[in-house]
Structure 1
Amino acid sequence: MRAYRPLALAAAGGLLLTACGGGDSVDTGGGGGGGGDNVLVAAVSAQPDQFDPHVTSAYPSFQVLENVYDTLVVPNAEDLTMEASLAESWETSEDGLTWTFALREGVTFHDGSEFDSADVVYSYNRIIDEELANSYRFANVTAVEADGPQSVVIRVSQPTPNLLSLIGAFKGMAILPEGAAEDLDLTTEANGTGPFQLESSDASSTVLTAYEDYWGGAPAIDGVEYRYITEPAAALTALENGEVQWTDNVPPQQVESLGENEDVELASTPSVDYWYMSMNYAREPFGNPQVRRAIATAIDREEVTEAARFEAARANQTAIPEDSFFYSDYAPFDADEDAARQLMEESGVTTPLTMGLMVTDEFPESVTAAQVIASQLEAIGITVEVEVLDFATWLDRQDQGDFDAFMLSWLGNIDPADFYEAQHITDGSSNYQGYSNPEVDRLLTEASTETDQDARKQLYDQAAKLIVDDVSYLYLYNPDVVQAWVPGLEGYRIRADRAINFEEVELP
């Protein structure tokens, strides 16, 4: 996941999401948004698990943190190329081993303290030294050094063509003030340089207030209130009734009809996300490659995609969506019950057998997809016990390796390394399934330093083929980003990386 993208996140990185908080009901506090005349009320599906950007991998946390923290560079909303943020400019040495970043002046944290190079050095070294969620992003980094108060030097052991996306793809790489982890409880508090400050958070909502001294200019709205509404139908009803002004929790079966709804402004765009299922190599018989291939052959991805997302997704066996330069059209598994039974026979594993499949009710499409998969695998003698968990429990069991199989998504992927490296390299930070293939390790490691785009794509294509053949992840589909808001709301842009930015929003 980042989670999820980890993200992440859906393995955020990235894939990945979080613990359930508000249920399905909406207390509007009197209607009209309830948060004040100039406060945006946003309906989201789940509660943040915590607010430490360097630790969480939960997408609902990043829905909030995107508006609280900044990174050195940030993806452009249009094409996801990296552009300036806390770093105004940067240059790379001729040998590609030294990156020098010129920092923006006049930036302050929410507590009024000034931003400088010491904050960058502290933030990056905290991630590296404590081996936090995104430490793998610094695999090639040998040093992070201040070169005066407004300059930071990052030294790498070998050319790292995707360094900008590694440090700027999402707010898991946020810059904190020096000593923040000692001064604050970062699980519940925040001190960023972003357009909004964290005001409060509980089981029903998270509230942000505008930071008037934001370096990019004070937001047009006074704040944002995130309300947790698990059921998409309830979120849509709240939007139509004017109880909320924005939501990304839109019922996929209603996307087409909502285009003609005058009470809702709907937008969608192809995403860089993917949904997948993965099996625990340490739990027999799922360590048996023929069993995994049998399951991959029995599953009809088109049927799963249609059930989970209707027309708002495309089946894909290799994670990277087809509009990307790095897309591979490799698709070796055709849904075939007879072929799947043959693979089970060749595995030496007798059926019937039972497989637990962890999903979370905070993302209803995972429950729907799991039910379809259960019916498909029943035909080859596998009984799937769908385990519907709250997301906090889901995350804990994934971390403990307490599962037969699980399903989730990775969100916000930008570089091909985001799709494959942490999830499939031996002992990768998100390799919860326990996959290890030395050739995949070699290919992913070589690709991470290859500066020629065509050569880099060939390496990732080879790695993807092995990952798919081994069924490290059983990839399912790439969903669209679908969001809706009230007519007259201005300044919001839907993004392929699912980053939620409210700094330029103006309410009707």
Structure 2
Amino acid sequence: MKQFRSILLASTLILPIAAPAAFAETPDDVLVVAQNIDDIVAIDPAQAYEFTSGELVTNLYDRLVQYDAEDTTTLAAGLASDWTADDEAKTITFTLRDGATFASGNEVTAEDVVYSFGRVIKLNLTPAFILAQLGWTAENVDDMVTADGNTVTVKYEGDFSSNFVLNVLASRPASIVDSKLVMEHEVDGDMGNAWLNENAAGSGPFKLDSYSPAQMVRMSANESYFNGAPEIDSVIIRHVAEAATQQLLLEQGDIDLARNLTPDQIASLDSEEIKVETFPQAAVHFLSFNQKTESLTDPAVWEAARYLVDYTGMTDTIINGQMEVHQAFWPKGFPGSYDETPFSYDPEKAKEILDEAGIETPITVSLDVINAAPFTDMAQSLQASFADAGINFEILPGTGAQVITKYRERTHQAMLLYWGPDFMDPHSNAKAFAYNSDNSDDSYAATTTWRNAWAVPEDMNEETMAALAEADAETRLEMYQDLQKKVQENSPIVIMFQAAYQVAMADNVEGYVNGATSDFVYYRLVDKQ
């Protein structure tokens, strides 16, 4: 990279940024990241529920099983070297790997696992519901998770397979903490929660050197990491709220990665020393029709709608770099995704479908949308393209809270929204898009199916629950792919796009991994060539 007039790098890590200035090039063994990190509320794995905190937990902690930097789509061994599942007995027995240690130097033991899982359930903070799905409660968790030597046996309750359990145990709150270190910092029975929200007690590829809320995070490589020490010696994440400032710092060479540039800023980058990488994200964006609106109940309207979305028109312009075409409910990049995109903008075909079904047009429909870019731009595109077939949208912009409230109350007609999974198992989205066992008004469910008053066909309900319980991993994923095909072909939910995330970085940065969720942001493989 080019050389710049120097001011000590340390000053850029401490002082607020004011007028544009030129700084020193970043050190070869340090990755400097500019990012808005003021969303962090907690970094304790038992409480962390924000995007940035998820990234920190992933780099500071391990789980028994986990999706790792080399392949974010494959569940791999973490602190467990192997495991045996008994679906009939509803148990999984994990054998811990030899030689794994925490950053403190303490050995990772089966007792640490028991403590970590029980701690999440007993503290009962925001992400505890993910582990509680396994039938664990504060009263029974000590019986449901037990240690014997270097093995841990996990029991679960519910009609689901061990594959589902493994994905739950690969989620953020299942991170393993150093119980000895944490208990040393327990205050008034908080199980070390206050201390862990300022410090770390993990075995991950990085150690937390310092954390200053809304200022900076500094991590150093864990040289004894069981999966190999990170390529980079340390990572510094600076809180830089303004995207324009992030761009300036990147162009000057004062940082290596800019995490929050806008599409316009990405497009304006003009340097041979900066590159942009695009990473698919978990959120899927969809248009849905409330089945309480009579004009929207004919499946011919659903089918025609799929040919009235100008998919490439939007991805080439208003959402360029922010989304890519994806037409199934489980995101690409996750095991079990269905990535076929059979629909394209074809208003003549849409009109033919409506005519053959005897649908009288024009149809006038209100479309609720969050009053912010790019959603309002997307709504205007839909308004123009649907009008070609006689479906007229009246756009109703509102705040996020207003739009979501109408959606939950089932008082909308058409809705433009997005959905993301709580953890990396296809059931997390299948239950939202392919299941609705009780469509009555007084049976609220936090699903797109219920909120759109769609009484899902019983065979699809049964297949969703059968997939949840299927013991064979490959067969289970095939079942979820089949469900995606069915929803894609015949439902009042038109899935259009998958979110994408662009990261601008210096051209000498290699190995940065940004998976489909914040839990899959990895710095372990980063190297500065």
Could you say what secondary structure the match of 2:483 adopts? helix
2:368 maps to 1:356: yes
Task: Give the structure 1 partner of residue 41 of structure 2.
Answer: 50
TM-score, normalised by the number of residues in structure 1:
0.70
Q: Deviations over 1:15-68 (max 9, x none)?
A: xxxxxxxxxx96599654899996533234664253354556543432333223
In the alignment, structure 2 segments of 5+ residues that lack a partner are 1-15, 137-142, 437-442
Report deviation, 1:493. 4.1
Alpha-carbon contact 2:57-2:172 (below 8 Å) kept? yes
More displaced, 236-245 or 176-185? 176-185
Task: Give the structure 1 partner of residue 85 of structure 2.
Answer: 92
Task: Give the structure 2 partner of residue 431 of structure 1.
Answer: 447
Change beyond 3 A, Cα 1:384–1:200? farther
Task: Give the structure 2 partner of residue 147 of structure 1.
Answer: 147
Task: Give the structure 1 partner of residue 427 of structure 2.
Answer: 417
Report deviation, 1:141. 6.2
Alpha-carbon contact 1:92-1:98 (below 8 Å) kept? yes
Could you say what secondary structure the match of 1:48 adopts? coil
**Counterpart-to-counterpart distance in 2, 1:96 and 1:56:** 32
User: 1:268-279 alignment to 2 at 5 Å?
Assistant: 268=278, 271=280, 273-277=282-286
Q: Deviations over 1:286-344 (max 9, x none)?
A: 9964598376564333323333443786422213467876526474786538649959x
Q: Deviations over 1:122-156 (max 9, x none)?
A: 44346567495474566466764222363211234
2:233 maps to 1:221: yes
Task: Give the structure 1 partner of residue 167 of structure 2.
Answer: 165
Alpha-carbon contact 2:286-2:497 (below 8 Å) kept? no
Q: Deviations over 1:156-183 (max 9, x none)?
A: 4564235433322x43532345678543
Task: Give the structure 1 partner of residue 6 of structure 2.
Answer: none
Report deviation, 1:485. 1.9
2:470 maps to 1:450: yes
Could you say what secondary structure the match of 1:207 adopts? strand
In the alignment, structure 1 segments of 5+ residues that lack a partner are 1-24
Amino acid paired to 2:79 = L
Could you say what secondary structure the match of 1:102 adopts? strand
Task: Give the structure 2 partner of residue 373 of structure 1.
Answer: 382
Alpha-carbon contact 2:330-2:484 (below 8 Å) kept? no
More displaced, 123-132 or 296-305? 123-132
**Counterpart-to-counterpart distance in 2, 1:369 and 1:186:** 44
Task: Give the structure 1 partner of residue 326 of structure 2.
Answer: 316
User: 1:230-245 alignment to 2 at 5 Å?
Assistant: 231=243, 235-245=246-256
**Counterpart-to-counterpart distance in 1, 2:485 and 2:274:** 42
Report deviation, 1:446. 0.8
- Between structure 1 and structure 2, the one with the greater Rg is 2
Q: Deviations over 1:389-425 (max 9, x none)?
A: 6xxx699969976995453353797553354245654
Report deviation, 1:103. 2.6
Task: Give the structure 1 partner of residue 113 of structure 2.
Answer: 120
Amino acid paired to 2:62 = D
**Counterpart-to-counterpart distance in 2, 1:28 and 1:85:** 46
**Counterpart-to-counterpart distance in 2, 1:281 and 1:201:** 46
2:484 maps to 1:464: yes
Alpha-carbon contact 1:370-1:386 (below 8 Å) kept? no
User: 1:475-490 alignment to 2 at 5 Å?
Assistant: 475-478=495-498, 482-489=502-509
Change beyond 3 A, Cα 1:490–1:453? closer
Report deviation, 1:246. 0.9
Root mean square deviation of aligned Cα: 5.1
Change beyond 3 A, Cα 1:348–1:46? farther
Change beyond 3 A, Cα 1:469–1:401? farther
2:84 maps to 1:72: no
Alpha-carbon contact 1:73-1:82 (below 8 Å) kept? yes
Aligned identity (percent) is 18
Alpha-carbon contact 2:260-2:503 (below 8 Å) kept? yes
TM-score, normalised by the number of residues in structure 2:
0.68
Change beyond 3 A, Cα 1:127–1:414? same
**Counterpart-to-counterpart distance in 1, 2:26 and 2:406:** 36
Task: Give the structure 2 partner of residue 305 of structure 1.
Answer: 315
**Counterpart-to-counterpart distance in 1, 2:120 and 2:444:** 15
**Counterpart-to-counterpart distance in 2, 1:155 and 1:86:** 18
Amino acid paired to 1:381 = N
Q: Deviations over 1:445-468 (max 9, x none)?
A: 211232446643553244224434
2:493 maps to 1:502: no
Could you say what secondary structure the match of 1:318 adopts? coil
Aligned length: 471
**Counterpart-to-counterpart distance in 1, 2:151 and 2:407:** 37
**Counterpart-to-counterpart distance in 1, 2:325 and 2:340:** 11
More displaced, 466-475 or 249-258? 249-258
Task: Give the structure 1 partner of residue 176 of structure 2.
Answer: 175
More displaced, 80-89 or 417-426? 417-426
**Counterpart-to-counterpart distance in 2, 1:301 and 1:28:** 41
Change beyond 3 A, Cα 1:208–1:471? farther
